[in-house]
């Protein structure tokens, strides 16, 4: 269970999070939507302890992670999987080693067992024959899928996905969504997906939260969000130019 209360974060006078309140129950797949530059990635970095808020609390299973020191934070992170927006693959090692990396560093599995799991994980994201390539040598969409394989390979209890499907073609998008759902059913992790895929994300997530101007303006089931009477939410999911959200 993740409970975010009154989270505030300012970067040199730029108030990005302005009192975020959000609760994510165990085994729920929560999607966060909201406009570009709205602070979704910043919120996620607070959830993994990479950024410290100006004020507010983040309780993960009851412990406030905003006050944890590095060592205790690392204990929480043992159970996390994070897919960064840019993939964050290590560019000095090849695809195979990237996916194997968390297993090699965090577990005592033998190379043979690691090999089985890496092949399986790459297979799951639809990648074959790119094991020996370096991240710079594969396409952006492939990089994203390698990163997804690396995130899920440790079977984490809590998983954060920052735009797992942005920049992928519609077929791969569907298959990544399906992969996330089947993995979620199989391992039952608590998940947060930041996504711009509307309406596809409504079929993936259990709950949707919309972040706007530094606060969560609405949370609900996909159906509730779809039928929301909140003009901000309604404009955002319909992509309309008229409404409370200023178009550029």
Partner 1 sequence: MLNIVRKLGAWALSTLRKMGDMLIFLTNAVYFAFVPPFKFRLLLKQIRFFGNKSMVVILLTGSFAGMVLALQLYYTLRKFGSDALLGPAIALSLIRELGPVLAALMVTGRAGSALTAEIGIMRISEQIDALSSMALNPFRYLIVPNLAAAVIVFPLLTAIFDVIGIFGGYVVAVDLLGMSGGTYFSQMEVFVDMKDIRMGLYKSLSFGLIVAWICCYKGFNTGYGAEGVSKSTTEAVVTSSVLILIWDYFMGSILL
Ligand X SMILES: Nc1ncnc2c1ncn2[C@@H]1O[C@H](COP(=O)(O)OP(=O)(O)OP(=O)(O)O)[C@@H](O)[C@H]1O
Q: Which residues in this chain contact ligand X in the complex, by CB under 6 A?
A: 11, 16, 36-42, 85
Query: To the nearest whole angstrom, how small is the minimum distance from the Cβ of residue 78 to partner 1?
Result: 5
The token pair that represents 7 in the structure block: 């989270």
Contact residues for partner 1 (CB under 8 A)? 45, 48-50, 70, 74-75, 77-78, 80, 82, 84-86, 88-92, 101-102, 105-106
Q: Which residues, at least 6 apart from 10, have a Cβ–Cβ distance to it below 8 Å? A: 16, 54
Query: To the nearest whole angstrom, how small is the minimum distance from the Cβ of residue 85 to Mg ion?
Result: 5
Query: To the nearest whole angstrom, how small is the minimum distance from the Cβ of residue 234 to ligand X?
Result: 20
195 binds Mg ion (CB under 5 A): no
Binding mask 33-52 for Mg ion (x = CB under 5 A): --------x-----------
The token pair that represents 68 in the structure block: 């944890």
Residue 37 binds what, of partner 1, ligand X, Mg ion, none (CB under 5 to 8 Å, by partner type)? ligand X
Any idea which residue has 């606060």 for tokens?
Answer: 215
Binding mask 80-99 for Mg ion (x = CB under 5 A): -----x--------------
Alpha helices per DSSP H over 13-94 = 40-47, 70-77
DSSP 34-99: --TTSSHHHHHHHHTTSS--SEEEEEETTEEGGG--HHHHHHHHTTEEEE-TT----TTS-HHHHH
């Amino acid at each position: 269970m993740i409970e975010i209360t009154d989270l505030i974060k300012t970067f040199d006078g730029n108030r990005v999070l302005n009192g975020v309140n959000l609760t994510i129950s165990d085994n729920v797949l929560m999607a966060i939507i909201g406009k570009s530059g709205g602070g979704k990635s910043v919120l996620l970095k607070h959830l993994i302890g990479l950024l410290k808020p100006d004020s507010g609390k983040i309780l993960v299973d009851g412990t406030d992670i905003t006050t944890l020191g590095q060592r205790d934070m690392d204990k929480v992170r043992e159970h996390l999987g994070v897919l960064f927006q840019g993939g964050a693959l290590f560019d000095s090692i090849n695809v195979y080693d990237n996916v194997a990396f968390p297993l090699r560093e965090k577990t005592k599995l033998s190379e043979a067992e690691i090999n089985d799991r890496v092949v399986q994980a790459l297979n799951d994201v639809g990648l074959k024959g790119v094991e020996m390539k370096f991240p710079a040598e594969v396409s952006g969409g492939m990089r994203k899928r390698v990163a997804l394989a690396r995130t899920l390979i440790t079977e984490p209890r809590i998983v954060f996905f920052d735009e797992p499907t942005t920049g992928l073609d519609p077929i791969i998008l569907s298959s990544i969504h399906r992969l996330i759902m089947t993995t979620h059913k199989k391992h039952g992790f608590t998940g947060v997906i930041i996504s711009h895929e509307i309406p596809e994300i409504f079929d993936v997530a259990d709950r949707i939260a919309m972040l706007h101007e530094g606060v969560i303006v609405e949370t609900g089931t996909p159906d509730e969000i779809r039928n929301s009477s909140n003009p901000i939410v309604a404009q955002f999911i319909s992509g309309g130019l008229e409404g409370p959200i200023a178009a550029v």
